[in-house]
Amino acid sequence: MLTRTLAPCIAGLFLLVAVSTAAAEPPPRYNTVALQAEAQRVVQNDVLNATLYVELSDPSPAALANAINRSINEALRIAKDYKDVRASTGNTQTYPVYAKDNTLKGWRGRAEIRIESKDFEAAANLIGKLQATMQLGSMSFSVSPEKRYATENELIAKAISAFKERAEIVRAALAGRGYKLQHLNLAAGYNAPQPRFATALRARSAQELAAPSLEAGVSMVTVTASGTVEILE
């Protein structure tokens, strides 16, 4: 008797769930078109990043570590005189060196310092001084985060305007009376081409090298607007 009573209730419950689910589903949309447009701007690089390193060998790992530490500490001491240049330690590694008969011959170590600055002249002078005892490992230029963010904000309106222009072209091509925006995504991109730079390495004296001449170059900042529109008939 209990089973007979529950059966209609359970069937009614399933019917109610099915009706509610059907009511929650959005109506099908037709004439939807996916579009993408972008706005770009060439921006002058305003940040210099450089890596200098010292690489030494010694039969004793302790003596090697001591020599490398002295070199890095001296480089950081010199960098403190340049208030607008930020210097920090980078990667440090030590590895064994073996002879041809596979016996331990000694140790070789390498340590880096990293330089970052918006003052290119000060950074170039510092690099020139450090190159008396260190090697220039790499140098690159980029757009500072605050300048890149401000540029992206200015490009948002341009990217949306370009998106709307394309949506209007599609509407006219499909002979629609209008269009309705379904969704819109905004994404920012950043492309920094390999900069060109030259280093003048002719020594003026045993302790001084000419500062490298720098050319910062430019980067491309892009904002992309992508989304879907429904063409109204």
The C-alpha atoms of residue 71 and residue 65 are separated, in whole angstroms, by 10
User: pLDDT at residue 122 above 90?
Assistant: yes
Domain spanning 26-46+143-233, CATH architecture: 2-Layer Sandwich (3.30)
What is the model's pLDDT at position 30? Answer: 72
* pTM listed for this prediction: 0.70
Q: Mean pLDDT in the chain? A: 84
10 Å Cβ neighbour count for 140? 16
Q: Domain-by-domain residue ranges, the chain?
A: 26-46+143-233, 48-142
Per residue in 136-190, pLDDT tens? 999 999 999 999 999 999 999 999 999 999 999 999 999 999 999 999 999 999 8
pLDDT range class, residue 114, cuts 50, 70, 90: very high
Question: What top-level class would CATH report for the domain 48-142?
Answer: alpha beta
pLDDT range class, residue 191, cuts 50, 70, 90: confident
What is the model's pLDDT at position 190? Answer: 87
What is the model's pLDDT at position 201? Answer: 41
Kindly write down the DSSP assignment for every residue of 191-232, as one continuous string: E-PPPP-B----EEETTEEPPPB----EEEEEEEEEEEEEEE
What is the model's pLDDT at position 15? Answer: 44
Per residue in 206-227, pLDDT tens? 345 566 667 778 999 999 999 9
**CA distances (Å), 75 to each of 30, 35, 115, 116, 209, in order?**
67, 54, 11, 14, 15
Q: What mean pLDDT is predicted for residues 76-102?
A: 93
pLDDT range class, residue 198, cuts 50, 70, 90: very low
